[in-house]
Chain A
Amino acid sequence: EIVLTQSPGTLSLSPGERATLSCRPSQGIGNTYLAWYRQKPGQAPRLLIYGTSYRATGIPDRVSGSGSGTDFTLTISRLEPEDFAVYYCQQFASSPLTFGPGTRLEI
């Protein structure tokens, strides 16, 4: 099973700042196999990024993904109030399709 480690556990920033979130698989995976989600309290997760760097429908270009192998990053520039939530990465390289434990982005 591929274990995903996300850091930091909690990130405290202000609106307008830049957030950098990390996701590290326990073994290298191809770029096709890494996705990011945002979850707000009481809501289902929403897909932000798939294939490491492709934005899902309706996601603004201030949200971007990058990385390869065992080191992936989600970057959100110019934070807006809607961005303060929990972020999860997920790998599709091998079953079970595991999620990371999440990064809480708070004001």
Chain B
Amino acid sequence: VPLQQWGAGVLKASETLSLTCAVYGGSFSGYYWTWIRQPPGKGLEWIGEVDHSGTTNYSPSLRSRLTISVDTSKNQFFLKLTSVTAADTADYYCARGFRWAEGNGMDVWGQGTTVTVSS
């Protein structure tokens, strides 16, 4: 079940970051479709997730600027982050999250998109 992601890689401060992640094969329901980011040279930051019904769960630090949505007819989910600044410069990943009885994790990842915000 590969994930393929795309979106604009260079933005100016105050613009809106928009990314799409397409799910090829496998079920779209029953999973948590997740966005994660990684600033240059730093660790991973969980951004938020959406399930197939559109129920979302966001990082509090980004909630005021963040929208994660889903289009089940296309097996795609989306990230929109408004009013970006240089601090939003990072590699952005989409991933499939699961919540099984024996454990939780994110087992399929997109290839990553490098987003650079210039001032």
Contact = CB atoms under 8 A, between A and B. Distances in A.
A binds B: yes
B14 to A, nearest CB: 25
A35 B103 contact: yes
A50 B104 contact: yes
Contacts of A92: 99, 104-105
Interface string A23-55: 000000001111101010000111101111010
A66 interface: no
Interface of B: 36, 43-46, 49, 57, 59-61, 93, 95, 98-107, 109-112
A96 B43 contact: no
Contacts of A35: 103-106
A97 interface: yes
B80 to A, nearest CB: 18
30 contacts: A32-B102, A32-B103, A33-B103, A34-B103, A35-B104, A35-B105, A35-B106, A44-B93, A44-B110, A45-B36, A45-B44, A45-B93, A47-B105, A50-B98, A50-B105, A50-B107, A51-B100, A51-B102, A51-B105, A54-B103, A88-B43, A90-B105, A90-B106, A92-B105, A96-B46, A96-B60, A97-B46, A97-B49, A99-B44, A100-B43
